[in-house]
A and B are shown apart, each in its own frame.
Chain A
Amino acid sequence: MTPKIRAQGLSFYYGAVRALHDISVEILPNLVTAFIGPSGCGKSTFLRTLNRMNDIIPGTRVEGRVFIDDADIYRPGVDVVALRRRVGMVFQKSNPFPKSIFDNVAYGLRVNGMAGSRSELAGRVEESLRQAALWDEVKDRLHESALALSGGQQQRLCIARALAVRPEILLMDEPASALDPIATQRIEELVYELKKAYTIVIVTHNMQQAARVSDHTAFFWLGRLVEYDRTDKIFTNPAEKLTEDYVTGRFG
């Protein structure tokens, strides 16, 4: 299978601090890839290099290359705005816009000139909300504020919002870390559904979650990629002693 995302010797600096050391990894399409590791290991930073979200933090610098479909996203002249439409992102803390549920989902379509006619727009909003398994809960109050939703619903709204612009890749940065177990389960079921159509990369603190939802797992430690393999291999028979110590809960 041709990889969807390929990082090559990627290093990342916050000012003088080197947060990522020479990461090389290939992420396959239509699978869920989990990034695990202790806090500060660089897994979120790496995730954010994949849609150049780190660009908005002043004083940061990237070395190395990241290819998506064989095109380097860090080459000069890349349209970062178009890149971010193709590579969607869901954040750790749900961040719905202080607008209506409908407008939250429609926003990405509007700013990308994908809104079309009124009924087309409404259709896309409905489709996205259904994909995110939120439609039935909100269909009667689409024009009420998104901030009135529960935490789990807000996070699924953020997923719907990301899906609306039809990305190819969905990056999820600890999407369930602030949610209760039932809401978490719903997000995990959703991830399982979505991988049929998307390439999903999920950062998680929770090793059971990585084991449940992912096909491949990458273990990061102190800004380095220690081991990357099939999830069952990482959790049952890792090659590195450090990985084994982490997944068995000896540190982290």
Chain B
Amino acid sequence: MRGRALDRAFQVLALLVLCLALAALGALIADVWRDGAARLSWDFLTGFPSRRAENAGIWHALTGSIFVIVVTAALAVPIGVGAAIYLEEYGTRSVAARVIEINIANLAAVPSIIYGLLGLGLFVRALAMGRSVLAGASTLALLVLPVIILSTREALRAVPPSIREGSYALGATKWQTVWYQVLPVAMPGILTGTILALSRAIGETAPLITIGALTFVAFAPDGLWSPFTVLPIQIFNWVSRPQPGFQVNAAAAILVLLALLLTMNAAAIWLRDRYQKKLR
């Protein structure tokens, strides 16, 4: 009887905590919605920055965010998944491998501004990429790499050994086994981890300001070498203005950023379900 009461108490507690977390998120969205919803319009989405709040738009920052995140994914996903495959399937259990492992876990916890400093020194200066989309995306790729590697390894490890054995027993090579059997089974996990990592990157401000992404750009990025800005930086810029009109713009831009994030997370869930259905 006591066990059951405890069980019940724990259930109620867990529910309360969940409500608290949801309430915080709900309050945030409601607050931003109240401030910014009225400002949302087609003109706002497709407009460029202006000194007059009511004329300002976010087209440059929205396209900048999307462009940067696509390039980040193109850089980080192949490298991250490849590294994870090597560590999980090919790497030996040597001391060096263990040191690398611990370091990757540590890198995942390094503050993002440190990556910004690295990006400034390495990509902007040493590799002379300047304050370009490519430099920003490279910096963000470094930032999300550890997370992608860790989640991919987790997904690979969850593939039942019997599938690998079955493949080897038919005379498949290691690469064939990984490519045809292990990766498809691990794909939902890899996709989920990757998209969650990218949704973190799309909200990053500090490393991009560090590498010198501009806070006022009057054009949409038109190539890898183009200067750029992203939504979080634009929001940061508007919030620090004294005029109330820009506060409203910031709230509206936050709504757009949230929508972008939720879309990405929804895509993660959709892709995961689709893959799982295909496997069943």
Chain A residues in the interface with B (C-beta under 8 A):
51, 53, 56, 58, 81-86, 88-89, 91, 93, 95-98, 107-108, 110-112, 145, 147, 158, 161-162, 165
Contacts and interface: CB of A to CB of B under 8 A. Distances in A.
Closest 7 pairs (CB-CB, A-B): A85-B171, A108-B170, A95-B162, A89-B169, A98-B279, A111-B172, A95-B166
Contacts of A97: 163, 166-167, 181
Report whether over half of chain B's contact residues are helix, strand or loop; otherwise say mixed: helix
Interface of B: 92-93, 160, 162-173, 176, 180-181, 184-185, 279-280
Report whether over half of chain A's contact residues are helix, strand or loop; otherwise say mixed: helix
Nearest to A93: B162
A111 B170 contact: yes
A165 B168 CA distance: 13
Nearest to A110: B180
Contacts of A82: 171
A95 B165 CA distance: 9
Given A107-B180, A147-B280, A95 B163 contact: yes
Nearest to B170: A108
A34 to B, nearest CB: 20
Contact of A108 (B171, B184, B185, B279): B171
A95 B144 CA distance: 35
Given A84-B171, A98-B184, A162-B170, 15 more contacts: A53-B169, A58-B92, A83-B171, A88-B170, A91-B162, A91-B165, A95-B166, A96-B166, A97-B181, A98-B163, A98-B279, A107-B167, A111-B172, A158-B166, A165-B171
A134 B201 CA distance: 51
Given A98-B185, A107-B180, A161 B165 contact: no
Contacts of A53: 165, 168-169
A111 B172 CA distance: 6
Nearest to A96: B166
A159 B167 CA distance: 13
Given A58-B93, A98-B279, A107-B180, A51 B169 contact: yes
Contacts of B170: 84-85, 88, 107-108, 111-112, 161-162, 165
Contacts of B181: 97
Contacts of A81: 171-173
Contacts of B164: 56
Given A91-B166, A158-B166, A98 B171 contact: no
A233 B261 CA distance: 73
